[in-house]
Structure 1
Amino acid sequence: MKPLTVIGFLGSTLDAAKFGPSRWMKWRPTVALTMHEDLRVDRFVLIHGTAHRRLAEYVSQDIADVSPETTVERHVIDFSDAWDFEEVYGKLLDFTRTLPLDPEAEDVLVHITTGTHVAQICLFLLTEAHYLPGRLLQTQPTRRADGTAPGSWSVIDLDLSRYDSIATRFAADRREGTSFLKSGIETRNPAFNAMIDEIEQVASRTRAPILLMGPTGAGKSQLARRIHDLKKVKRQVGGPFVEVNCATLRGDGAMSALFGHRKGAFTGAAADRPGLLRSADGGMLFLDEIGELGLDEQAMILRAIEDRRFLPMGADAEVVSDFQLIAGTNRDLGRCVAEGTFREDLYARLNLWTFALPGLAARREDIAPNLDYELDRHAEREGMRVSFNKEARARFLDFATSPRASWNGNFRDLAASVTRMATFAPKGRIDVATVDGEVARLQRLWSGAGERSDGLEAILSARQLAEIDPFDRVQLAYVARVCRESPSLSEAGRRLFAASRERRASTNDADRLRKYLTRFGLEFTALR
């Protein structure tokens, strides 16, 4: 067994007793700790003030009498006001930083029965923060049959995962939190569920900025709002949720909308405007499509994140706003930094907690539970429950989960599709004919979208697109779409080279696809 070190305060009242045999009949916590047969104390770090030096010597002598193997180290710490939390914590923190302790070579118990309530609280906090690398020790009075009073002792381990009932409650609370973030949808995609677990932990433990990446319609806005609602339920935030699509902000209007202005700051500024950052004070600000902001706005956003203050347009004095930022984007901000359209320092600040939300085509196993969710939302909006008949539901899911469904608009496409089918459903039941009509409508919609845009604008700069021949562009657009729909680089390679791979003795489709993407400066993870 490792040697045991106990750290505790001298109890100026509890440890005091008249000299004589009768003192052994009184429960004195510090002395009693060394009287237990099942608790061998090798080193006792005893903290006391100058005024109690004599009592400390007296108690140390009694410990030597009942436990000769215990070495008592007396440390004097004087407080101007023993009930001043700031002073007590500060001096104890300084003390713990200089106290020689080796948790690898000794066990440490922190005695919190003696000392003022403020001192006990400070010892608890220092132990919880691991400045004191040990466990908490509590004692209480009891008597032996021989009349002596060693009391009883118990150890509190601050690792709550060791307590079954508490761990069970924590696990249930965490499951409830992740379900809340998913709007109660029983999603089945393992990667998405693992990401939501991480987001729940981050959202519950930090106020640092969070960056949500993903294609339009992947659910960034809804997830940001659920993060705010979860923190509000846990009383971690009390202010509002303020959302703005940065793609709608331009010029002076962007500065005014974000940071506010004073009356007369520019033509048309007829009254003061607080601005969205000020409105989010105490709450959460969601800047969707943050990559669309200009460099000047980005600089002021960075200052507002780091210093909680900014200067409204036309103002002489800065204002303060304490908010948590969630940023959303469908752009590759790393590429934007390289192209000079996004500030590197802001990207570094946002990139601490980055989560890439996959599109619906990459989560086809989640289409069925999201289909039920959209039906529930329609019932809440319209006040009428609509459902599928069995054959129609199977028909729609067969199409929705197949490669024929590209889901260009992601969950927005799914929500719109459910709304249309529910509207056309005869007598509140979606039948096969309704599904067939909707499938044809979706295919026409996606075909038209493909003619208007091949999606390369979201992953390549205007200069890069101008340098690509039309023939190569058509090929690259198809490759990019397959990559977005495939769960891995290898799977995308198998789909793209299905015919040629049959004629080769050895295949490495992933490497072949990786080299093709490299020609255009692209990576599979960026496309996903």
Structure 2
Amino acid sequence: MSGKRTVAIGFIGATLDRVGKGANRWNKWRPSIGLCQQADLLIDRLELIHGTDARDLSLAERIRADIQQISPETEVRLQPMHLRNPWDFEEVYGALHDFTSGYAFDTEHEDYLVHITTGTHVAQICWFLLTEARYLPARLVQTSPARRRDPEQQATGTHALIDLDLSRYDRIATRFQRERLQGLAFLKSGIATRNAAFNRSIEQIERVAVRSRAPMLLVGPTGAGKSFLARRVYELKRARHQVQGRFVEVNCATLRGDGAMSALFGHSKGAFTGAQTAREGLLRAADGGMLFLDEIGELGLDEQAMLLKAIEEKRFFPLGSDKEVASDFQLIAGTHRDLRGRVVEGLFREDLYARINLWTFELPGLAGRREDIEPNLDFELERHAREQGRLVRFNLEARRRYLAFAGSAEAAWQGNFRELSASVTRMATLADSGRIDEAQVEEEIARLRRSWGQGAAPDELAALLGEAAERLDLFDRLQLQAVIGVCRQADSLSDAGRRLFGVSRQAKAKANDADRLRKYLARFGLDWAGLRAQD
């Protein structure tokens, strides 16, 4: 065992530990007592699970008192557990699962053993299943009476750390399925996503996350949720005790030159000008945890070579140092680029691409998952309520209008889910009396259109022109929408004119962009000042 405290968890032996109250009990092997008598295994704490009737409690108190006599350094905590039928797999597994879920494991300071000698065979099997699935961050220990007839050794017995190979049970498998569904919901933050391709990807990510330590590659446009999903994978693995260290995130597009090397791999003192002290680096900070390298395609070739060594060997040289350091981290990489294409161009190492490409998952942008806009809309409102302590909702017509626009081909969603989150935050912040109305929705739609470089919408033309908008030909309507869109993005009337007449003005001896635009707007009863006032 390590220098950590050793904690054992196990049932009291309803038969083997119950050998009477007289002095002769010390000559008999009792597994719970014997576990705490092993010369080469100090048990700092024993979590002793026992029944809830008076006879079981009396036995548990007697065992605790006896352990205090032979191993005063061992703390014994009594853990009552009511089991109507200790031979019922579903009941026993459920009780033990609830126990482990509520137990405050401290793997940084404690090592855990599960004592499988005591309890029914059903309990032993359930202990194995929970430990193998990492609900318990523990090893299994078995105690047994000594073979030789030395009275002292016979009472103490022996112990062994063991592994079991037992069959699965159908009734327990259904509980595993429920746990897996909970894992899927966790990765999706409880959002009832409807996009079939995305849901299939999440199902595969959940399997890989709990079964593999291999790198994962998340591919998708900016704002598609790569960073958010990477953190959820980390939290899922941490809940299963598969990682103990930190979640470290870095956007590789922000790293350049020696700064990239130093940020990732650390540096020794004096490694370069300005290196007044040594630096640990992000890879070492992620030791025992998870490293998320977003936009990994932006890394330079030198950094890629060092990263490959760190992934494969768990060791690397900090910048300016001749001494290797170790870091055992799990990697998730993200990119919006075609890494295979960058390999062909010589901009990305083929060996690194092969190493991180074992598990590649495509995350579509919001425009490719329009059926998921509504559940994400509800999620964003709930998040705003949690963060701001203020519940905001749409009125019925406002919600219908926003969803109709958000789900239409007209909505570009260039910033993907990040942009949807910002849109909801704006409306929720401006909402009076906790209610988003149609006027706010129309204002937000106009704001989104402008940010995407779109012109005025048909309903905006009606607001500007009144009934005259209905008498416009489609040609004039579309042209006017585009002109208004440019005007609202420009800094001045002249700037808008230069943008609109950038080609034809070259053939003129004297540019008159502002005048041409002014006359065009006047045809519809509009002017620059009026349009800017509407912005």
User: For this pair of structures, how many residues does the alignment match?
Assistant: 298
Give the deviation of 1:197 after TM superposition.
0.4
* Aligned mates of 1:272, 1:386 — CA distance in 2: 49
Per-residue CA deviations over 1:376-398 (Å, capped at 9, x if unaligned) read: 11112211111101111111001
Q: 2:255 aligns with which of 242, 249, 252?
A: 249
Q: 2:195 aligns with which of 183, 189, 210?
A: 189
Paired AA for residue 351 in structure 1: N
Q: Are 1:349 and 2:355 matched, yes or no?
A: yes
Q: TM-score, normalised by structure 1?
A: 0.55
* Aligned mates of 2:370, 2:405 — CA distance in 1: 11
Cross-structure match for 1:227? 233
Cross-structure match for 2:174? 168
Give the deviation of 1:159 after TM superposition.
5.0
Q: Are 1:428 and 2:472 matched, yes or no?
A: no
Per-residue CA deviations over 1:55-114 (Å, capped at 9, x if unaligned) read: xxxxxxxxxxxxxxxxxxxxxxxxxxxxxxxxxxxxxxxxxxxxxxxxxxxxxxxxxx9x
Cross-structure match for 1:419? 425
Q: 2:206 aligns with which of 200, 207, 214?
A: 200
Q: How does 1:235-384 map to 2 (within 5 A)?
A: 235-384=241-390
Q: How does 1:85-164 map to 2 (within 5 A)?
A: 158-160=166-168, 163-164=169-170
Give the deviation of 1:210 after TM superposition.
0.3
Give the deviation of 1:158 after TM superposition.
4.5
* Aligned mates of 1:338, 1:436 — CA distance in 2: 47
* Aligned mates of 2:247, 2:397 — CA distance in 1: 42
1:266 to 1:400, Cα distance in 2 relative to 1, 3 A: same
* Aligned mates of 1:448, 1:315 — CA distance in 2: 54
Per-residue CA deviations over 1:277-317 (Å, capped at 9, x if unaligned) read: 00000000000000000000000000000000000011121
Cross-structure match for 1:178? 184
Paired AA for residue 312 in structure 1: P
* Aligned mates of 2:304, 2:321 — CA distance in 1: 19
Q: Are 1:389 and 2:389 matched, yes or no?
A: no
Give the deviation of 1:407 after TM superposition.
0.6
Q: How does 1:484-499 map to 2 (within 5 A)?
A: none
Per-residue CA deviations over 1:199-244 (Å, capped at 9, x if unaligned) read: 0000100100000000000000000000000000000110000000
Paired AA for residue 435 in structure 1: V
Paired AA for residue 415 in structure 1: S
Q: Are 1:401 and 2:407 matched, yes or no?
A: yes
SS at match of 1:427: coil
Identity of aligned residues (%): 70
1:249 to 1:448, Cα distance in 2 relative to 1, 3 A: farther
* Aligned mates of 1:448, 1:280 — CA distance in 2: 44
Unmatched segments (≥5 aa) in structure 1: 1-112, 114-119, 129-155, 450-528
SS at match of 1:447: coil
* Aligned mates of 1:164, 1:301 — CA distance in 2: 44
Q: TM-score, normalised by structure 2?
A: 0.54
* Aligned mates of 2:399, 2:281 — CA distance in 1: 47
* Aligned mates of 2:234, 2:186 — CA distance in 1: 11
* Aligned mates of 1:260, 1:448 — CA distance in 2: 46
* Aligned mates of 1:170, 1:158 — CA distance in 2: 16
* Aligned mates of 2:374, 2:421 — CA distance in 1: 12
Give the deviation of 1:157 after TM superposition.
9.4
1:432 to 1:332, Cα distance in 2 relative to 1, 3 A: same
* Aligned mates of 2:340, 2:411 — CA distance in 1: 30
* Aligned mates of 2:407, 2:295 — CA distance in 1: 28
Q: 2:446 aligns with which of 440, 443, 455?
A: 440
* Aligned mates of 2:174, 2:194 — CA distance in 1: 23
Cross-structure match for 1:100? none
Two-structure CA RMSD over aligned residues (Å): 2.2
Q: Give 4+ residue runs of structure 1 displaced > 3 Å after superposition.
A: 156-159
SS at match of 2:379: helix
* Aligned mates of 1:157, 1:164 — CA distance in 2: 16
Unmatched segments (≥5 aa) in structure 2: 1-116, 118-123, 133-163, 456-535
Paired AA for residue 295 in structure 1: L
Paired AA for residue 314 in structure 1: G
Give the deviation of 1:368 after TM superposition.
0.4
* Aligned mates of 1:388, 1:352 — CA distance in 2: 44
SS at match of 2:181: helix
* Aligned mates of 2:167, 2:306 — CA distance in 1: 42
Cross-structure match for 1:58? none
Give the deviation of 1:164 after TM superposition.
3.0
Give the deviation of 1:428 after TM superposition.
1.1
* Aligned mates of 1:311, 1:251 — CA distance in 2: 16
* Aligned mates of 1:159, 1:365 — CA distance in 2: 42
1:322 to 1:157, Cα distance in 2 relative to 1, 3 A: closer
* Aligned mates of 2:395, 2:167 — CA distance in 1: 52
